[in-house]
Structure 1
């Protein structure tokens, strides 16, 4: 039997803000700048039972050189962009933006079918890098409903595991341009044990949104992130309290990362070019 992969470290997400909204930032943070190709993980959770929080609204802004990916766990998000897309992503869905050479978009929290705010709203935004040769590719937008995300079967388990991108045990995620990057969402059920046999060359990240898990000798609570270096060994998650989990795995990229605000490139001069192209309208207009 293959051994369990040892944990490299566990960190707790930092509290920060996007506009008027408090969020958790799992990375970058001191001690974990990024895990290229994973560059940023923001976690926003609004519970309106405890107060009348304003609707989330992020005004039009540009991106270049990476993929901003939004995973909607509760509520719904309305997206508009400079390509002409206007979509609402409901609970359980994902929007995958490949910014490429440039896109401008806005996001706001959508109302429910009765025209009222959702009681709960929960979103993960994940920034995934693009390879140097793809950074100036044509931008694209892929909306995915929860029914378009394939389930990964775990025999005898009630926990629901879905694959957004990558390949796992003959299951292929619907986002095909990043087939070497695995992104799983997990609705975990108390008392169950989940074991993932991921490629040994992959670094692995587990982020706990809700509930409590035990991984190795660590108790993992909401806002905790566990990181594994590439190494032989399976990833085992014991569910102590039902919840929601994000699991990421990919080979480490050795390309240089130069980031400035909404732009992620390989060289400082390319950041200057991105700013120029945005200011002169070459990334399109809303």
Structure 2
């Protein structure tokens, strides 16, 4: 998915040291996803005070949306550099096309992972048969030694397994010390898609009144994005649990080997994200991740040259085959140089 803000802020993201309470609740901001009937998305990453959780650097949460009212998802070809996109749906269906020639449908239970590396372009459009659209779009930042890899695309289906009262689907990385109750489901605790730093991405569902103690990698920091809730989050040694409302993102600092999730009156669904704290300074602007202001300026110049000459399949970002429409032009860059946000 593209960042369709008309005036995206350029962010210098220094390595972040964990600080503050054991459970920090981050509120979302609503962003329109293009068009006169723009589909709204709720963005919890990046934001002031926290730009990454592990290598996770972008989180948009949307739906359930009535496609007849919002027009669904229509994101024309647009570029990415230095990151991976992770598409995960609860309801609906999205058609993905990209400049490597990949063509895949995103459906609930299946993960689409696109590695941009040195540069890729893609489109995402909800299919005609989709009446409700509901899911998350996530990005991970690639570390320095991997960010110039050739672009590629992967799709994998996931299998649910039980941990306590919870049903879990791991779509990226692996659940730390995962011990699915069904012996033949052990492999489901790890996703086969390629990652370039230690990561976890999982959907966790709890029935009303349910509780689960999930194992965590204590070297990871974690985020709990609430899709249906609220959810009660308890950590070993904490005086009390923290209730996290719908659509908010709870941040858990490293050092915890377990988290207790509890549903009270209503069923709960969360997306659990985790990773080793990202130790590199990055620059994020629009759909690009680089390491300097000058590098981002060059990414934009290359994309604009591709937009002008769409007949050049060998351009820096290639072309998206069989997409009927114009690519997204890049927004104007800020008129001032980047200054660090502290």
1:236 Cα deviation after fit: 0.9
1:222 Cα deviation after fit: 1.3
**Structure possessing the higher radius of gyration over alpha carbons:** 2
CA distance in structure 2 between the aligned counterparts of 1:174 and 1:11, rounded to whole angstroms:
30
CA distance in structure 2 between the aligned counterparts of 1:213 and 1:269, rounded to whole angstroms:
43
CA distance in structure 2 between the aligned counterparts of 1:46 and 1:184, rounded to whole angstroms:
19
Unmatched tracts of structure 2, length 5 or more: 1-20, 179-185, 235-240, 307-314, 321-342
Mapping of 1:188-199 within 5 angstroms? 188-199=206-217
Q: Which runs of 4+ in 1 moved over 6 A?
A: none
Query: Which stretch shows the higher mean deviation, 199-208 or 264-273?
Result: 264-273
Query: Which stretch shows the higher mean deviation, 249-258 or 85-94?
Result: 85-94
Corresponding residue number in structure 2 for 1:3: none
Q: Name whichever structure is richer in strand by fraction.
A: 1
Corresponding residue number in structure 1 for 2:142: 130
Counterpart pick for 1:151 among 160, 164, 167: 160
1:179 Cα deviation after fit: 6.4
1:195 Cα deviation after fit: 1.2
Mapping of 1:1-286 within 5 angstroms? 7-19=22-34, 20-48=38-66, 52-112=69-129, 117-118=130-131, 120-144=132-156, 148-155=157-164, 157=165, 159-168=166-175, 169=178, 171-178=189-196, 180-216=198-234, 217-240=241-264, 241-278=266-303, 279-280=305-306, 281-286=315-320
Query: Which stretch shows the higher mean deviation, 34-43 or 126-135?
Result: 34-43
Unmatched tracts of structure 1, length 5 or more: 1-5
1:215 Cα deviation after fit: 1.1
1:191 Cα deviation after fit: 1.3
1:138 Cα deviation after fit: 0.7
| TM-score (normalised: structure 2) | 0.74
CA distance in structure 2 between the aligned counterparts of 1:36 and 1:200, rounded to whole angstroms:
12
| TM-score (normalised: structure 1) | 0.88
Offset from partner CA, 1:206-261 (integer Å, 9 cap, x none): 00011321113322221111101111342110012213210011110110111121
The number of equivalent residue pairs is: 270
